Amino acid sequence: AFWEMPAGARVGDIEIYRSLKHWINDGLMTLFFFVIALELKRELVLGELRNPRIAALPVAAALGGMAVPAGLFSLLVGGGPGASGWSTVMSTDTAFLIGCLAVLGSRIPGRLRLFLLSLAIFDDVGAILVVAIGYGEALNWVALATAILGLAVVAGIARLGIRSIPVYFVIGGGIWLAFDASGVHATLTGVILGLMTPARRWISDTRLHAILDRVSAYPPGDHWSRDTAARNDLHRAGVATREALSPIERLEIALHPWVAFVIMPLFAVTNAGVPIADANFDLPLTIAIVAAFVIGKPVGIVLFSVLAVKLRFGARPDDLPWSLLAAGSLLTGIGFTMALFIAELAFELELLNSVKLGVLGASVVSAALGLLALTWLTSPGRR
């Protein structure tokens, strides 16, 4: 009852009221998807995924990690209850995947870490698109046109050189409200704006060093007070050090702690509860969820990765052996956050507890199998 309490505001004749759960699932989680999109663009523009063939391998693996578990789920459920919820088993929980890799620390090669994180980001984006297309409501074309106009404004002011992040967040809030009213799932706002964020910094290394050298040339003394040239140089140095990081990196640094330590735990508290005492579980549905994650995800990832390499569509780095790739793919069966998010949209209320139990069970089993396999493969004797 607490999570269903309405909250919002009224401005004149305009009322914006949603349940607390809606504000968390559709509002705060937009920031989660925004950070995911930032990470993806950073890797594609600035990271090792700049090489198209290297980037193609996790893309192919993500496609397999979405298609095979969805197909296995549909095969097991058939035409039974919950058959339309196949999209629940498509995504990997990026945060828990990072947590499992952190447990193993430096034993995990950097190539495997990059492959798994890229894969998780790609299939999260794929799942978000499925949500936006498959679980939206009847379209409000006026609201949708308003959202598109807002995106055009963001692109326009970026071209004009406006750098104020608060300005973009205000416009982004308006775009979110327009998408929310349009019938398209509002979390798509985070993905689009994340991918639109500039990945190039505004201050070059040469310019930064020139400005800092000018400041450091002042001898010790009281130069920085009053309206002096020295104070202006100091202010310019502060702006330059901030702008030496790209907007993507600055936003990641600022938002990641809030997403990791506030938004995701709050989402879990809101959505993960299963009232065991008075729940009637649909055992076949639960088993289908577990099988799709624990078996379908790694099989699809390995199968599509092999096909991508054989067809010369993608390239597997020499320091990423197939054994490690297969063992790491076991961790992708951890589907906690996105799976619960989609389940709330895809399943009827009477089936939701069965689905949640399957998601939680599959996440525990996948984490255990993946950690055991990677621990064994990276043990000193094996290395």
Statement to judge: residues 236 and 269 lie in one domain: no
Statement to judge: residues 69 and 130 lie in one domain: yes
pLDDT at site 16: 81
Confidence of residue 278 (pLDDT cuts 50, 70, 90): low
pLDDT score of 217 more than 80: no
Statement to judge: residues 358 and 271 lie in one domain: yes
Confidence of residue 221 (pLDDT cuts 50, 70, 90): low
Domain of residue 230: give its range.
205-241
Confidence of residue 277 (pLDDT cuts 50, 70, 90): low
pLDDT score of 139 more than 70: yes
Q: Is residue 35 part of a domain?
A: no
Statement to judge: residues 130 and 8 lie in one domain: yes
Distance CA 245, CA 74 (A): 46
Statement to judge: residues 215 and 310 lie in one domain: no
Statement to judge: residues 130 and 59 lie in one domain: yes
| Domain CATH number, residue 278 | 1.20.1530.10
pLDDT at site 49: 77
pLDDT at site 168: 93
Q: Is residue 73 part of a domain?
A: yes
pLDDT at site 260: 85
pLDDT at site 226: 65
Buried b (16+ CB within 10 A) or exposed e, 18-34: ebbbbbbbbbbbbbbbb
Confidence of residue 288 (pLDDT cuts 50, 70, 90): very high
Question: Closest Cα to residue 314, out of 44, 59, 9?
Answer: 59
Statement to judge: residues 124 and 9 lie in one domain: yes
Statement to judge: residues 347 and 271 lie in one domain: yes
- The DSSP annotation for 124-170 comes to HHHHHHHHHHHS--S--HHHHHHHHHHHHHHHHHHHTT---HHHHHH
pLDDT at site 291: 96
The number of folded domains in the chain is 2
39-54 average pLDDT score: 83
Question: Closest Cα to residue 371, out of 334, 319, 320?
Answer: 334
Q: Write out pLDDT tens, residues 298-331.
A: 999 999 999 999 998 888 888 889 999 999 999 9
Statement to judge: residues 264 and 235 lie in one domain: no
Q: Write out pLDDT tens, residues 228-271.
A: 777 777 777 877 777 778 888 889 999 989 988 899 888 888 87
pLDDT at site 70: 93
pLDDT score of 83 more than 80: yes
pLDDT at site 310: 93
Quick check: helix, strand or coil at residue 18? strand
Statement to judge: residues 266 and 231 lie in one domain: no
Q: Write out pLDDT tens, residues 6-38.
A: 888 887 777 788 888 888 888 898 998 898 888
pLDDT score of 46 more than 90: no
pLDDT score of 383 more than 60: no
Confidence of residue 276 (pLDDT cuts 50, 70, 90): low
Q: Write out pLDDT tens, residues 140-194.
A: 889 989 999 999 999 999 888 888 889 999 999 999 999 888 877 788 899 899 9
Statement to judge: residues 221 and 361 lie in one domain: no
Q: What is the pTM of this model?
A: 0.75
CA 263, 129, 291, 288 torsion: positive or negative?
positive
55-77 average pLDDT score: 93
- The DSSP annotation for 276-321 comes to -TT----HHHHHHHHHIIIIIHHHHHHHHHHHHHHTTSS---TTS-
Distance CA 364, CA 335 (A): 10
Statement to judge: residues 234 and 356 lie in one domain: no
Q: Which among 195, 214, 241 is the end of a domain?
A: 241
Q: Is residue 370 part of a domain?
A: yes
* Higher local confidence (pLDDT), 352 or 68: 68
Q: Is residue 193 part of a domain?
A: no
